[in-house]
Amino acid sequence: MPLDVFENRSIIKYAIFFQTINKCNEKLDSLNKEKEKLNSIIKKARGNRELTCLHCNSNYKIKELIYIQTYWFKPPSGCTEGGYPIAQEGYFICSNCNTRNRFLDSYELPYDYRKTMINPLVRFNRYYKCEFKDRIDKTKEHEKLRFVNITIGKDFIVEE
């Protein structure tokens, strides 16, 4: 078999290979665009979910509320450990009755599962926290307000 026939077969194999790759990439681009559309629909739906103030029963869409984050400071220890804030609970303030509505774990959830995706609060923070109108850090004025506890997973169900 002459050498040029062998080279032509190799070129044809590579051409077919690259055509297949290009078709797959085009299909992936199309699927990614569809995924972006679906994600924007999900984002909009999550922003339109309502939270109820457990003190006065006023309803608010998540996209209209401000999420307020509290932090616990891990003190320095040793040469490189600590010295940084750790996000703790979050809450929103009801504009009707000026009450802090704190987002907390369900006490029925075993402690071992509190940091996993089984925990509705972890899923809430992952999927809903970004849908609030704004996210800010706690101030001293917030500490003076009365509060109620919203148990995520009981008072607010997070989809699976």
Structure token digits, residue 142? 């917030």
Domain coverage including residue 145:
49-151
pTM listed for this prediction: 0.71
In a domain, 135, yes or no: yes
Query: What is the residue-level pLDDT of the chain in tens, covering all 160 positions?
Result: 455 555 667 777 777 888 999 999 999 999 999 999 999 999 999 999 999 999 999 999 999 999 998 888 888 887 888 788 887 889 999 999 999 999 987 777 777 777 777 788 888 888 899 999 999 888 777 777 878 888 887 777 777 5
Check whether residue 41 and residue 59 sit in a common domain: no
Tally of domains in the chain: 2
> Are 72 and 88 in contact, with CB atoms under 8 Å apart?
yes
Check whether residue 132 and residue 65 sit in a common domain: yes
How far is Cα 35 from Cα 41, in angstroms, rounded to an integer?
A: 10
In a domain, 156, yes or no: no
**Per-residue pLDDT, 83:** 80
